[in-house]
Structure 1
Amino acid sequence: MKNKSFRFLWIGQSMANLGDIFYIVGLISILYISTESPFILALVPFFNMFGRFISGLLSPLLLNRYSLKSLIIYSQASKTLLLFFLAIILALNLTSNVLVIISFVFVIAFLDGWAAPASQAMLPRLVAENELVKANSFFSIVSETVNLGGWALGGLVVALLSGQNVILITVALYLIATVLMTRIIDPIKFKRKFSEGRRSGELKEGWQIVWRSPLYKSLHVIIVFEAFANVVWIASILYVFVSEVLGKSEAWWGYINTSFFVGMVVGGFICSYFTLAFEKNLKYVLITFSFGISILTLLFGLTTIAWLSLFFAELNGISQQLKAIASNTFLQKSASTEELPKIYAVQSALVSLLFAISSLLFGALTEIWDVRISFIVSAVLLGIAAIYAAINHRVFSVEKSS
């Protein structure tokens, strides 16, 4: 993990992730001041996810034609340029058309949608195989720390400097990230793949890779259930839970989120500390914590004691982190360098689409019935995923792809 390229990757990605949070916080502040419309604010995460979904579908075309490093750099540089134009538009008040502003959200998310799989697939190229668990743990710790502090820091900066200035700060963060990404040295030489058939065949590559492998298919079945179930942690549902079940102020939504992210950071440290034991028991970690997430989600949804909800949220964060690192390590150790970015592209498209659909479904469920029903349904879906993992436990072994 002393590899300089790995250092450039995680620092650059951290700057980019912090910039993503800052620009969304700044944009929401600007839109709220100008429109005061909750519907307009809801369009920001929707188009953000929709852009990532479309990008995930199309990314195999780019992954066959450009190296991972090129995709990461071009994406980050393009995001920087787009956000610079948006900052100028907002600063000079050249337009107040919401659709113009939202279109920037879509395009930036689209660019990020094919860079994210490339960045994830770059990590195992830069560290030794016996350091993958430690590298994944470290990367997760850094990522969740950025998430933990980014939203609070972004809100504070918006309050002090205004949304327009926060977007200018984001441009600077994106620029730093772009420069750092250029310093990465990919040890694997890129070979451009020329397709003999139609481009539609290329678009199916990632899906075919996942479908053909029992391991990849099983992991993605679990991901599908979790993508549906974990939407109960979005703000609109947690706000209702905090108000109607816990009987607390909106501030407790922030406390619960903080507890969850602290749990994810703690989970990363646990995995990093017990690397050898974790690596030897990847299958059992995956199955055990799949059940753990289901049980903790149910306990959280049924509790009416505020401090206990924080405890369950933190334990959930720990379980989510350990299970996610196990799942990632299975993929990184089994997939070839050509397969891995396409598998991550499939994941990005799946999660983005299912998040958008389940947000609407769980939002309607919460509005029609008690919010606790949403958490019970979520726990049941997670339980089904855990049972599926236990039944198919034999497929969870590392098999190097040819």
Structure 2
Amino acid sequence: MKSASFRFLWIGQSMANLGDIFYIVGLISILYASTESPFILALVPFLSMLGRFISGMISPLLLNRYPLKTLLVHSQVSKTLLLCLLALILVFHITSSILVIVSFVFTIAFLDGWAAPASQAMLPRLVPKNELVKANSFFSIIYETVNLGGWALGGLLVAIFSGQDVILITLALYLVATLLMTKIVDPTEFYRKFSEGRQSGELKEGWQIVWRNPLYKSLYVIIAFEAVANVVWIASILYVFVAEILGENESWWGYINTSFFLGMVIGGIICSRFTTVFETNLKYVLITFSFGISILTLLFGLTTIAWLSLVLMGLVGVFQQLKAIAANTFLQKSASPEELPKIYAVESSLVSLLFAVSSLLFGALAEIWDVRITFIISAILLGIAAIYAVTRHRHFIIEESNFPFER
């Protein structure tokens, strides 16, 4: 973890992630001030998910033809140029078309759709494989710390300055991220893959890799269930839960989110402190915390005590982090460098699609029935995922022969 390239990766990705949060906060502030339309605001996360889904679907074409570093750098450069154009439009009032403005959300998310799997697949190339758990824990701590402080800081900056100013700050963060990513040195040699048939075969390549490998398929069935179940944590459902069930004002939505991200940070710290124990028990960590998240989600949905909801949410964050690190480590230690980015691209597409569709479904359920029914359904789905993990436990074996280089 002393690798300079690893430092460039995590610092650059942190700057990019913080910029992503700031620009969304700034843009929502601008859109709300000009339209006061909840529908327009809802377009922002929807278009973001749609962009990531489409990008994830076509990313195998790029992953076969370009090195991971090239994709990372070009994605960040393109995002920076787009944000610069958006800033010019907003500052100089070039157009007032909402459609033009929200189209930037889709395009930037589309560019992120291949940068995210490239970044995740780059990590195991830059650290020794015996430090993967520690590196994943560290990366997760940084990511959740950015999430924990980014939204609050973004809101504060919007209140002090303006949405346009926050987007200009994002532009500076994007520039720094781009510079740092250009300094990454990928030690894995790249071999361009030429398609002998139709490009549609390349588009299915990642899905075929996942489907044919029992470990990958088992993990992605669990991820699919969780993608649907985790919709209960979106703002539109939590807002209703806080108001109708807990009987608190909307500030408690912020407290609950903070509790979750704090739990994620604590989970990352726990994992980094007990790396050896964690690494030798990956299978049991995955199964145990899958059941734990299901039980905690059910308890959260049934509680009417505000302070207890914060405790439960914090525990969900801890459990979610530990389980996610276990799943990531399984993938990174088992997949080859050529397979890994395509596998992560499948995850990005799958989660984005299921999350977007499930958001509409769960939102309708919360409106038609008691909002608590959504948490009960979520807990059941998570429980099914945990039971499935138990039935497939024999497949949770790391085949380290797939890892082609030793350090």
TM-score by length of 1: 1.00
The whole-number CA distance in structure 2 between the counterparts of 1:366 and 1:401 is: 48
Q: How does 1:15-26 map to 2 (within 5 A)?
A: 15-26=15-26
2:10 matched to 1:10? Answer: yes
Match of 1:125 in 2: 125
SS at 2:185 equivalent: coil
Match of 2:338 in 1: 338
The whole-number CA distance in structure 1 between the counterparts of 2:343 and 2:132 is: 18
Match of 2:89 in 1: 89
SS at 2:372 equivalent: helix
Counterpart AA for 1:354: L
Match of 2:71 in 1: 71
Q: How does 1:136-285 map to 2 (within 5 A)?
A: 136-285=136-285
The whole-number CA distance in structure 1 between the counterparts of 2:171 and 2:350 is: 29
Match of 1:299 in 2: 299
The whole-number CA distance in structure 1 between the counterparts of 2:235 and 2:2 is: 38
Q: Is the 8 A contact 1:117 1:341 kept in 2?
A: yes
Counterpart AA for 1:220: Y
The whole-number CA distance in structure 2 between the counterparts of 1:401 and 1:118 is: 22
Q: Percent identity?
A: 80
The whole-number CA distance in structure 1 between the counterparts of 2:86 and 2:264 is: 33
Q: Deviations over 1:279-316 (max 9, x none)?
A: 00000000000000000000000000000000000000
Match of 1:55 in 2: 55
The whole-number CA distance in structure 2 between the counterparts of 1:302 and 1:158 is: 35
The whole-number CA distance in structure 2 between the counterparts of 1:281 and 1:401 is: 19
Match of 1:320 in 2: 320
The whole-number CA distance in structure 2 between the counterparts of 1:358 and 1:231 is: 7
SS at 1:307 equivalent: helix
SS at 1:337 equivalent: coil
Counterpart AA for 2:48: N
**Which 5+ residue runs of structure 2 have no aligned equivalent?**
403-407
SS at 1:370 equivalent: coil
Q: How does 1:308-387 map to 2 (within 5 A)?
A: 308-387=308-387
Match of 1:104 in 2: 104
Q: Is the 8 A contact 1:137 1:325 kept in 2?
A: yes
Distance apart, 1:400 and its partner CA? 3.2
Distance apart, 1:189 and its partner CA? 1.0
Q: Is the 8 A contact 1:336 1:400 kept in 2?
A: no
Counterpart AA for 2:272: S
Q: Is the 8 A contact 1:53 1:113 kept in 2?
A: yes
Q: CA RMSD in A?
A: 0.5
Distance apart, 1:401 and its partner CA? 5.7
Q: Is the 8 A contact 1:335 1:401 kept in 2?
A: no
SS at 2:400 equivalent: coil
Q: Deviations over 1:75-101 (max 9, x none)?
A: 000000000000000000011101101
SS at 1:379 equivalent: helix
Q: Deviations over 1:322-365 (max 9, x none)?
A: 00000000000000000000000000000000110000000000
SS at 1:186 equivalent: coil
Counterpart AA for 1:131: E
SS at 1:226 equivalent: helix
Q: Is the 8 A contact 1:298 1:375 kept in 2?
A: yes
**Which 5+ residue runs of structure 1 have no aligned equivalent?**
none
Counterpart AA for 2:279: E
The whole-number CA distance in structure 1 between the counterparts of 2:99 and 2:239 is: 27
The whole-number CA distance in structure 2 between the counterparts of 1:133 and 1:377 is: 32
SS at 1:190 equivalent: coil
SS at 1:304 equivalent: coil
Distance apart, 1:399 and its partner CA? 1.1
The whole-number CA distance in structure 2 between the counterparts of 1:401 and 1:384 is: 31
The whole-number CA distance in structure 1 between the counterparts of 2:307 and 2:97 is: 44
Match of 1:46 in 2: 46
The whole-number CA distance in structure 2 between the counterparts of 1:58 and 1:358 is: 22
Q: How does 1:380-395 map to 2 (within 5 A)?
A: 380-395=380-395
Match of 2:405 in 1: none
- Post-superposition, which runs of at least 4 consecutive aligned residues in structure 1 deviate over 3 A? none
Counterpart AA for 1:114: W
Of 391-400 and 284-293, the range deviating more from structure 2: 391-400
Aligned residue pair count:
402
SS at 1:318 equivalent: helix
The whole-number CA distance in structure 2 between the counterparts of 1:199 and 1:391 is: 36
SS at 1:192 equivalent: coil
The whole-number CA distance in structure 2 between the counterparts of 1:330 and 1:233 is: 26
Distance apart, 1:370 and its partner CA? 0.4
Counterpart AA for 1:12: G
SS at 1:111 equivalent: helix
Match of 1:27 in 2: 27
Q: Is the 8 A contact 1:226 1:381 kept in 2?
A: yes
The whole-number CA distance in structure 1 between the counterparts of 2:19 and 2:8 is: 16
The whole-number CA distance in structure 2 between the counterparts of 1:213 and 1:148 is: 35
Distance apart, 1:27 and its partner CA? 0.2
The whole-number CA distance in structure 2 between the counterparts of 1:189 and 1:339 is: 14
